[in-house]
Amino acid sequence: MLTEVKFKKPIDVSEADAKLYLAVKLFEEHRVSLEKASEIAEYPLDKFIELLSGKNIPVIDYPVEDLKEDILNA
Protein backbone atom coordinates (compact mmCIF):
# COMPACT_ATOMS: atom_id res chain seq x y z
CA MET A 1 0.00 0.00 0.00
CA LEU A 2 1.24 3.48 -0.86
CA THR A 3 2.16 5.26 2.34
CA GLU A 4 4.07 8.28 1.12
CA VAL A 5 3.92 10.66 -1.84
CA LYS A 6 6.67 13.14 -2.68
CA PHE A 7 6.25 16.19 -4.91
CA LYS A 8 9.02 18.07 -6.68
CA LYS A 9 7.31 21.38 -5.94
CA PRO A 10 5.79 22.12 -2.54
CA ILE A 11 2.02 22.19 -2.33
CA ASP A 12 0.02 24.10 0.24
CA VAL A 13 -1.89 21.18 1.73
CA SER A 14 -1.40 19.86 5.22
CA GLU A 15 -0.97 16.14 5.82
CA ALA A 16 -4.23 16.10 7.79
CA ASP A 17 -6.14 17.75 4.93
CA ALA A 18 -4.65 15.32 2.41
CA LYS A 19 -5.66 12.32 4.54
CA LEU A 20 -9.16 13.71 4.97
CA TYR A 21 -9.58 14.40 1.25
CA LEU A 22 -8.32 10.93 0.36
CA ALA A 23 -10.60 9.26 2.90
CA VAL A 24 -13.68 11.13 1.68
CA LYS A 25 -12.96 10.37 -1.99
CA LEU A 26 -12.26 6.68 -1.35
CA PHE A 27 -15.49 6.35 0.63
CA GLU A 28 -17.48 8.31 -1.94
CA GLU A 29 -16.21 5.98 -4.70
CA HIS A 30 -17.12 2.89 -2.61
CA ARG A 31 -13.49 1.81 -2.46
CA VAL A 32 -13.32 1.67 1.35
CA SER A 33 -15.84 1.20 4.14
CA LEU A 34 -17.04 4.01 6.36
CA GLU A 35 -14.96 2.69 9.22
CA LYS A 36 -11.81 2.42 7.08
CA ALA A 37 -12.31 5.94 5.72
CA SER A 38 -12.61 7.39 9.22
CA GLU A 39 -9.43 5.51 10.14
CA ILE A 40 -7.57 6.93 7.11
CA ALA A 41 -8.76 10.44 7.98
CA GLU A 42 -7.83 9.87 11.62
CA TYR A 43 -11.29 11.05 12.66
CA PRO A 44 -13.57 9.42 15.20
CA LEU A 45 -16.37 7.64 13.34
CA ASP A 46 -19.11 9.95 14.63
CA LYS A 47 -17.17 13.07 13.58
CA PHE A 48 -16.44 11.58 10.15
CA ILE A 49 -20.15 10.86 9.68
CA GLU A 50 -20.95 14.48 10.60
CA LEU A 51 -18.36 15.70 8.12
CA LEU A 52 -19.82 13.55 5.32
CA SER A 53 -23.32 14.77 6.15
CA GLY A 54 -22.09 18.35 5.90
CA LYS A 55 -20.80 17.56 2.40
CA ASN A 56 -24.12 15.89 1.44
CA ILE A 57 -22.40 12.54 1.03
CA PRO A 58 -24.75 9.71 2.03
CA VAL A 59 -23.44 7.49 4.79
CA ILE A 60 -25.92 4.72 4.04
CA ASP A 61 -26.07 3.47 0.47
CA TYR A 62 -29.45 1.76 0.27
CA PRO A 63 -31.38 2.38 -2.96
CA VAL A 64 -35.01 3.46 -2.56
CA GLU A 65 -36.20 0.66 -4.85
CA ASP A 66 -34.56 -1.95 -2.62
CA LEU A 67 -36.23 -0.40 0.42
CA LYS A 68 -39.65 -0.45 -1.27
CA GLU A 69 -39.16 -4.09 -2.24
CA ASP A 70 -38.11 -5.01 1.29
CA ILE A 71 -41.19 -3.29 2.73
CA LEU A 72 -43.49 -5.09 0.30
CA ASN A 73 -41.90 -8.44 1.14
CA ALA A 74 -41.96 -7.93 4.93
What digits encode the pLDDT tens for the residues 30-45? Answer: 999 999 999 999 999 9
Q: Yes or no: say if 42 and 15 are a contact pair by the CB < 8 Å rule.
A: no
H or E element at residue 65: helix 64-72
pLDDT band at residue 2 under the 50/70/90 scheme: low
| pTM across the whole model | 0.74
